[in-house]
Structure 1
Amino acid sequence: MRLNRKKILDFFKKSESRATLILNDKSKASNTIKDALGKAITNKGELEGVWGKMVLLFGVAKDYVNGDYTEIPKRSIVAILGGLIYFLSPLDVVPDFVPILGFIDDIFILNLVYKQVIKDLEKYKAWKDAQIKFIDNVDGSATT
């Protein structure tokens, strides 16, 4: 099966447009992320090749919407949320219920988004690691 890249990218652009609107409503954005995470966990086996990337995308999206991490350009968070919206849609270019092939277009989009925002994700990961170290240090010093 050959993927129609133009069709996939056109569908993704629509997902990014929806992401721009959803970002204006913290509750909708949070629910979208939660729903996409639930779908990802349910289908983790089929997403094994992109699982680590997805965890990072979910993390930055969640932290951005919660207001914990805002040091990411708006265009990057729109692309990330757009990718999650695309992933969440069961009727995208290759419907998710098609055995074996259902997530091929989703994986393509998620990899594309990851590559687009990789520098922003590296900064986020450094920030997140620093947060964890800080909490570990606070917890460690509280017990000694």
Structure 2
Amino acid sequence: MKLNRQKILDFFRKSENRATVILNDKSKANKTIKDALGKAITNKGALDGVWAKMVLLFGVAKDYVNGDYTEIPKKSIVAILGGLIYFLSPIDIVPDFVPFLGFIDDIFVLNLVYKQVINDLEKYKEWKDSQLQIMNIDGSTV
């Protein structure tokens, strides 16, 4: 099966447009992220090749929407949320219910988004690592 890259990219651009609107409503943005995460967990086996990337995309999206991490360009967060919206849509270029192929376009889009924002994700990972605190047995931080 040959994928039509242009159709996928056009559909993704529509998802980015929706992401721009959704980002203005924190509850809608959180619901979108939560729903996409639920779908990802349910279909983890089909997403094995991009799972680690998806976890990172979910993390930065959640931290951005919650206001914990805002050091990412708006363009990048729109691309990330757009990718999650594309993934969440059951009817996209290759419908998700198509056996063995249903997630191929989703994986393509998520990889595209990842490559597009990789430098921002590296900065996010550094920030996230710096947020981790080691706890002593008595509960105090080191």
Provide TM-score, normalisation by structure 2: 0.96
Deviations 1:94-117 (A, max 9, x none): 000000000000000000000000
| Alpha-carbon distance in 1 for matches of 2:112, 2:141 | 44
- The aligned amino acid for 1:119 is N
Return 5+ residue gaps in structure 1 as ranges: none
Q: Percent identity?
A: 81
Residue deviations 1:1-48 (CA, integer Å, cap 9, x gap): 000000000000000000000000000000000000000000000000
1:142 is displaced (CA, Å) by 1.8
Secondary structure of 1:45's partner?
Answer: helix
1:46/1:69 Cα in 2 relative to 1: closer, same or farther (>3 Å)?
Answer: same
Alignment of 1:27-106 (within 5 A): 27-106=27-106
Residue 107 of structure 2: aligned partner: 107
CA distance in 1, matches of 2:114, 2:2: 22
In 1, distance between residues paired with 2:39 and 2:140?
38
Classify the secondary structure of the residue corresponding to 1:75.
helix
Where do 4+ consecutive residues of structure 1 move more than 2 Å?
Answer: none
CA shift, 1:143, in A, is: 7.5
Quick one: distance in 1 between partners of 2:87 and 2:27?
A: 19
Give the direction of change, closer, same or farther, for the CA distance of 1:143–1:24 in structure 2 (3 Å limit): closer
Quote the RMSD (CA, aligned, Å).
1.2
Cα distance in 2 between the residues matched to 1:49 and 1:34: 21
CA distance in 1 between partners of 2:9 and 2:141 (Å) = 52
TM-score, normalised relative to structure 1? 0.95
Distance in 1 between residues matched to 2:12 and 2:68, nearest whole Å: 27
Cα shift readout 1:51-72 (whole Å, capped 9, x = no counterpart) = 0000000000000000000000
Q: Distance in 2 between matches of 1:125 and 1:14?
A: 28
Unmatched segments (≥5 aa) in structure 2: none
Structure in which a larger fraction of residues adopt helix: 1
